[in-house]
Amino acid sequence: MTTVLSPEIVVVDSLAERCDRCGAAAKLELALAGGGGLAFCGHHANKFADRLAPVAVKATVENGFAWAGQSQPA
Ligand SMILES: [Zn+2]
C-alpha cells in the first residue's frame, strides 16, 4: 500500500540555501514531516523527487524551477 502525500508548495524569488549534496545554489528547500529540512539544487531535487515528495510537508521552490515532485498526475 502506497500513500503519497503532496507537500505544500511555496514559490519564492530566490533561495539562499546551498544543495546538501553538491553545494550548488539550491532550487528547492524542503521541510520534513519528522522535523528539519533539506535543500537541493535542480539536479538533485529532481533526482530524488520521488523519495522526497512523500516525506516533505512543505516545499519551497525557486521561481521558474519546475520540481518533478510537485506535479503528481492523478
Ligand atoms: Zn546538488
pLDDT, tens only, 13-65: 999 999 999 999 999 999 999 999 999 999 999 999 999 998 999 999 999 99
Is the model's pLDDT at 73 over the cut of 90?
Answer: no
Distance of CA 74 from the midpoint of ligand 1 (Å): 28
pLDDT at residue 65, as a whole number:
95
Distance of CA 1 from the midpoint of ligand 1 (Å): 31
DSSP 4-70: -PPPEEEEES----B-TTT-SBPSEEEEETTS-EEEE-HHHHHHTHHHHGGGEEEEEEETT---GGG
Distance of CA 34 from the midpoint of ligand 1 (Å): 22
From the list 72, 74, 31, 23, the residue with the least C-alpha distance to 50 is: 72
Supply φ then ψ for residue 42, to 5 degrees.
Answer: -60, -45
Distance of CA 27 from the midpoint of ligand 1 (Å): 9
- Chain position carrying cell 503528481: 72
Is the model's pLDDT at 3 over the cut of 60?
Answer: no
